[in-house]
Amino acid sequence: MRVLRRRSVTTLAAVATLVAALAAVPARASDTLPWTGAAAKGANQPFQHGYTSADLLRWAPGSDLFGDLTRSRVPLQPRVAPLKETQADPGLDPAVQMLTLAGDYGNAFFESYPYNNEFSAYLFNYWQYTDFYAPWHGMATEGVPERFYDPTLDWREKWFEFGMLNLPNPGYTNAAHRNGVKSLACIFFSENDRGTQTYSELLVQDANGDFPVARKLVELARWYGFDGYFLNQEEPSVAVADIPRYKAFLKVLRDSGMYVQFYDAVDNNTGARSYQNAFNSVNAPWVRDPKLGDVSDSMFLNYWWSKSRLTSSRDYARSIGLDPRKTVFAGVEAGGYQFNQPYNLQDNLDSAGVPMNGIATLGADFVHSDMAGKEDDANQWKAYERERRWWTGSSTGGADDAPNWKGISAYITERSAAGGTVFDTTFNTGHGLEYVANGTVSNPAEWSNINIQDYPVTWQWSVAAAGGATPLGVDYDYGTRSTKPDRFSYQQVGAYQGGSSLVLTGDLAADNYLRLYRTDLAVTDKSKLAVTYRKVSASDASQLRAAITFADAPGAVVQVPVAGSGAQGGWTEATLDLSGYAGRRIVTLGLSAAAGPATVAGYQLNVGRITLTDGASHRPAKPTGFHLRAALTGTDELELGWNLDGYDNVAQYAVYDNGGYLGGSYDDVLYVKRFTSTKGTLQLRAIGHDGSVSEPATIAYDFGKAPGDVTATAAADGNVTVKWPQPVPANTRVKVTSQYRDQKIVKETTVTAGATSAVLSGLPTTGGHYLVTVCAGGTPVAYRGEFADRQVEPYPAALVKITGNTFRFATPTTPDWYKLYVKEDGVAKTFATTYSSGAKPYIIRGRTTLTALTVGMARSTSEVTVTIEDYSGNTATTVVRRAATG
């Protein structure tokens, strides 16, 4: 998938005007290519996949590939109440909502991971301007061989199936929820991009009139932890008779607690693909139907709006009792036009300068995906500046530098989920070139893991210097291996905790006030604020101060000095007593750099952590149930598990190996991609919302003992042969367990002393995944593999609808198929493919067009057969009409 392809429904004259005005359209977002080198996909690395409607009807949590390793577990957090005095623009309306439809770490088709060992992935850092996040990139369905994807070919040369449904990345959902943002999955239909998949497959009803696919979508969302669905229905038409059923389907989702946004592409009266570019009587019933009531929550308007259309949209929404700020979203083609938008969001402002409708953007990840050299660590600072420019209007955080683009913050107020009585940030943006713990490098390897991203700094950047002096520069410092923006010359010192710290740098000629976080933090009589900083430049008379505003006087900045902070030195933690402000609520939290009597040239101070505590203990309990799920030593991978404590108690978990950081998340599982240690101790610690750390749960391991690295081979006769290099003691247990299938199959045996192999029989020959575990008395060692696939289910003749000499073929409901060869008296029929890529002598999964499934036969007496082929090359032939005799 690239971008939404829009077709005008206006007059030819209007089209001509549009084409003339938009003659130069920027390039579309480029694909995220498979990572190479150390970042290349691990042999057993969990990833997401797409879904067809048939996949959903088969879906169960236990049978979904990696369904146990790709869940979001952070619950949606409440946001603090708006306070206009804290807003960058007090005139903006905080009720105006924002949706971003974009890629996550990238838009990879087979590599959508919760986390990875690659710094240069895209890490979204502007949750504070977002209410809804939904993913926009295709995902291959489960089972598609990755060898089918050739990234060097044109994007129309992807000869495999993408699911009509792709889920939000679980890491992104966790980060969204932490910031009070709802996360949505994406359903997409068009005549090209999803092959034969069509909306009508969603609308199948059972004997009770219910919608089984809708029920599965609700179950799926609850299992994976996201909040609803964005539906992009862009096939040429929806049958008029199907419109009421489609709305009833949507209503099942919404009434089940799902948030539903529908795209402005279907005429409510005719079912034709039609872009209204406004909210009116033609599309509004897809949100509020006169008979059914509310069937969805909101609509993403197509992009060709105008001032008058957006004004009429507001008025129409109000006329039917809807709030346009929450139900009508003016669409912006971010990826297509980038900073040169032909449609100006100023047209969405009323006479008071306040947005009339919500805002939705497609492809705002272009700031990274369309950047030359996006895979290069040295170029990531450019992505940060492009992203800042998109969201705030300024790449540097200062004056606007995009003449045609004011930034989302010109229309959307800042949001925050930082409430309560405690707060902790280490300025962790979710990736790093090393992982640092308490100022010391704990793991030198690069990483990306948005699961452990801190609250983004609310205002990036808001720095005011007294007396009109030039303000200090602000940046994230990722250490000496990173490349900083060209305009900076600061000394890179990196993180105190995580991957980055905040650096204040420049000539300090006057007091500087840096506003950082929007909060609603209650101060108690035992509250303390800890600031961990490092004064890098030479000792001087400057002073770092905490800068706070309170709800009862939001215009007054209260400064609490950090004694001795002008002295050069290493990481230092200063604890400030806030008990004198007990009973008040902190609504903004920032810092001030006081200059002293003279200008400080080349000033640099890094801030590594800010923590608010309330005097109570929020230290989590020692984790329980810590165990090795699988030690995949032959591929240097590890899977760990434990019991998940409630999010009220634990913000995240961190896993260490012999003191070195391995990874973390708020989850009950962790996949480790590079694990080469042979002996030591694994530690699991729970981290509280105030940064406190639990006592560790531990696992001692020793992989230097038998059996060594395990391998296995599955044969066509149902035997699985397991081998290992070191002779094992008597009674060593060897077990094969099926994975990700409806019915678990377990085979186990014991071997004699000195054995180096075992054979287990009676196992499936229909494909699927398995886990081998060998326990020789020490640390169990494992191997993951796939059963032999020697069978394919014949194509059911009942799937063919025959009317005279016209045959309508339906695609199989089984997941195990790749091509269908249809022959009339032994002669192959041909089938058109998507993107006008030519006819093929077979139906190919994911690329044959829907209309091509209807075929006329040359003779009424001919024999018609269908041969099904699966990805393993197995075939079976079904006669769907026998030749006439006599």
Q: What is the CA radius of gyration of the chain?
A: 29
Q: What is the mean pLDDT of residues 198-227?
A: 98
**Quick one: tokens of 532?**
């961990």
Cα–Cα–Cα angle for 412, 415, 420, nearest 5°? Answer: 170
Do the beta carbons of residue 119 and residue 448 sit within 8 Å? yes
Per residue in 113-161, pLDDT (tens digit) is 999 999 999 999 999 999 999 999 889 999 999 999 998 888 788 999 9
Predicted confidence at residue 7, as pLDDT, reads 30
Q: What is the mean pLDDT of residues 308-323?
A: 98
- This prediction's pTM: 0.96
Report residue 402's pLDDT band, with 50, 70 and 90 as the boundaries: low
Predicted confidence at residue 567, as pLDDT, reads 98
Predicted confidence at residue 270, as pLDDT, reads 98
Phi-psi category of residue 96: left, alpha or beta, with phi > 0 → left and psi -120 to 50 → alpha: beta
Q: What is the mean pLDDT of residues 611-626?
A: 98
Q: Classify 672 as helix, strand or coil.
A: strand
Interacting residues of 582 by C-beta distance below 8 A, sequence separation 6+: 523, 524, 525, 527
DSSP state of 195: T
Predicted confidence at residue 409, as pLDDT, reads 97
Do the beta carbons of residue 513 and residue 555 sit within 8 Å? no
DSSP letters spanning 278-310: S-STTTGGGTEETTTEE--SEEEE-S---HHHH
For 358, phi then psi, to 5°, come to -65, 175
Q: What is the mean pLDDT of residues 577-606?
A: 97
The torsion of the CA quartet 146, 152, 155, 161, rounded to 10 degrees, works out to -10
- The one-letter code for the residue type at 112 is S
The torsion of the CA quartet 844, 845, 848, 854, rounded to 10 degrees, works out to 90
For 331, phi then psi, to 5°, come to -80, 140
d(CA 745, CA 738): 5
Phi-psi category of residue 753: left, alpha or beta, with phi > 0 → left and psi -120 to 50 → alpha: beta
Predicted confidence at residue 105, as pLDDT, reads 92
Report residue 885's pLDDT band, with 50, 70 and 90 as the boundaries: confident
Percent of the chain's residues with pLDDT above 70? 96
pLDDT at 23 over 50: no
Do the beta carbons of residue 735 and residue 763 sit within 8 Å? no
**Quick one: tokens of 172?**
């992104």
Q: Report which of 675, 652, 783, 771 is spatially closest to residue 725, judged by C-alpha positions.
A: 783
Predicted confidence at residue 300, as pLDDT, reads 98
Interacting residues of 462 by C-beta distance below 8 A, sequence separation 6+: 88, 397, 514, 515, 590
Predicted confidence at residue 307, as pLDDT, reads 98
Furthest CA-CA distance within the chain: 111
Per residue in 105-116, pLDDT (tens digit) is 988 889 899 999
Predicted confidence at residue 155, as pLDDT, reads 79
Report residue 22's pLDDT band, with 50, 70 and 90 as the boundaries: very low
Per residue in 660-686, pLDDT (tens digit) is 999 999 999 999 999 999 999 999 999
pLDDT at 19 over 80: no
**Quick one: tokens of 472?**
């200090």
**Quick one: tokens of 224?**
């994976």
pLDDT at 200 over 70: yes
Interacting residues of 97 by C-beta distance below 8 A, sequence separation 6+: 131, 132, 298, 325, 326, 329, 358, 359
Predicted confidence at residue 21, as pLDDT, reads 34
Predicted confidence at residue 719, as pLDDT, reads 98
Q: Which helix (H) or strand (E) holds 245?
A: helix 243-255
Pairing of strands 182-190, 228-234: parallel
Q: Which residues pair with 261 in a beta bridge?
A: 230, 298
Q: What is the mean pLDDT of residues 180-189?
A: 98
Per residue in 464-505, pLDDT (tens digit) is 999 999 999 999 999 999 999 999 999 999 999 999 999 999
pLDDT at 404 over 90: no
Q: How far is CA 819 from CA 835, 842, 872, in A?
A: 18, 6, 11
d(CA 817, CA 795): 9
pLDDT at 56 over 90: yes
Q: How far is CA 613 from CA 231, 423, 424, 746, in A?
A: 43, 7, 9, 50
Predicted confidence at residue 11, as pLDDT, reads 31
Predicted confidence at residue 401, as pLDDT, reads 66
Q: Report which of 374, 5, 49 is spatially closest to residue 185, judged by C-alpha positions.
A: 49
